[in-house]
Every structure is written in structure tokens, then in C-alpha cells.
Amino acid sequence: MQGETSRVLRMVRVAIVAAIYIAVSLAVAPLSFGAVQMRFAEALVLLCYYQRDYCYSMILGCAVTNLFSPLGFYDVVFGTLATALTVLAVSRCKNLLLACVFPVLGCVIVGLELYFLTGAPLVFTTLTVMFGELLVMAVCGYPLCKTLERNRSFMKLIGAGSVGKKRML
């Protein structure tokens, strides 16, 4: 029974974080899509650094959010692919600051998507999406994680245990 409870708790955490990602993204929807975007919910990607289970949250949250994208199906596929590659890299990273770089690099896929689907200038679009992601990571994600890392109750709540000791998917 203990294993069953633990599994259910992990699933609930994943679902709650996915729902938060969706809610935050859609609450500021005009900023969450397009060539110039700042998807504030991307700060949650760093949860994958502490607990690999949150990769599922980010992938699911991104896919559902992208259902509302002006690019429709293509954003569900390619935007979610970018997030999947990003969160897998973040979850395997050993340094939080370095983990912040992967979401920025993942924006290359989004830049390519916008270029092919909208005809937006490739370099400009990629750089603006990367800059928005960099701001989210630098202003929201990293400082928030460094602050919350010191809070044992929060780390226990997200199922992280001690920093650096992550559970496998």
C-alpha cells in the first residue's frame, strides 16, 4: 500500500505542476506566444533539475498550452518537442545555473517553427524568443530556485529530497 500511495502522490504532483504551467501561460497568453514572447511558466522547467518526474508536467503543460497557440497543431508538436528536449537536458544537469541555459537553447526550435510557419526573420525571431526565455530564467527561475532550495519543507513538498539526489523517471 505504501508504494501505491507514493505513486499516487507523484502523479498528483505532476498533474498540479502541469496545471500551474497551463494556468500561468494562459493568464498572460499574449506574452506566451509569438516572435516576442515571455512564457513565465517556463521558470517551472527548473523543477526538473530537482525531480525528474516534473519532465512529465512540463511536457504535458506545454502541449496543452500550445493547443491555444495561434500556430495550432504545429506548436503542439514542435513547441512541445522543444520543451521535451529541454526538460530532459535540465533533469540530467548537475548545476542549476547551467540548467538555465538549456531552455534558452531550446528556443532555436521555436525560432525555426516561427520562421517556417509565419515567415518571420529566422535570426531575429530566434533571438527574441531566446531573450524572453533568458529573462524568465534569470529574473524568475534561477533566483526563485536558489531561494527555495534552502527551504527543506518546499524541497520535501516537491519530492526533491536533497539537491543533487534526483529520482529516476
Flag whether 96 is in a domain. yes
Length reported for the chain: 169
Q: Is the pLDDT of residue 168 over 70?
A: no
Residue-level pLDDT at 160: 85
* Of the candidates 52, 76, 84, the residue with the CA atom closest to the CA atom of residue 160: 52
pLDDT at 169 (0 to 100)? 39
Question: Residue 167 to residues 35, 51, 86: CA-CA distances in angstroms?
Answer: 36, 6, 18
For the cut 90, the answer to whether the pLDDT of residue 51 exceeds it is yes
Q: What confidence category does residue 1 fall into, taking pLDDT thresholds of 50, 70 and 90?
A: low
- Specify the number of domains making up the chain: 1
pLDDT at 161: 60
Residue 4 has pLDDT above 90, yes or no: no
For residue 162, being part of any structural domain is answered with: no
Q: For the chain, where are the alpha helices, taking DSSP H only?
A: 2-27, 29-32, 47-50, 54-66, 73-74, 80-92, 96-99, 101-105, 107-118, 122-135, 142-149, 152-157
For residue 37, tell me if it sits in a domain. yes
165 in a structural domain: no
Mean pLDDT of 81-91: 98
SS3 109: helix
Q: Is 163 among the domain residues? A: no
Percent with pLDDT over 90 in the chain: 87
* pLDDT of amino acid 167: 42
Question: Is residue 160 one of the residues assigned to a domain?
Answer: no
Instruction: Provide the mean pLDDT of the chain.
Output: 92
Q: What is the pLDDT of residues 117-128, one digit of tens each?
A: 999 999 999 999
Evaluate if residue 45 carries a pLDDT over 70. Answer: yes
Q: What domain range includes position 20? A: 2-155
Q: What is the pLDDT of residue 35?
A: 87
Is 166 domain-assigned? no
pLDDT at 36: 87
Cα–Cα distance for residue pair 18/119, rounded to 1 Å? 31
Least confident of 30-44, 89-103, 147-161: 147-161
Q: What is the pLDDT of residues 56-83, one digit of tens each?
A: 999 999 999 999 999 999 999 999 999 9
Residue 169 lies in a domain: no
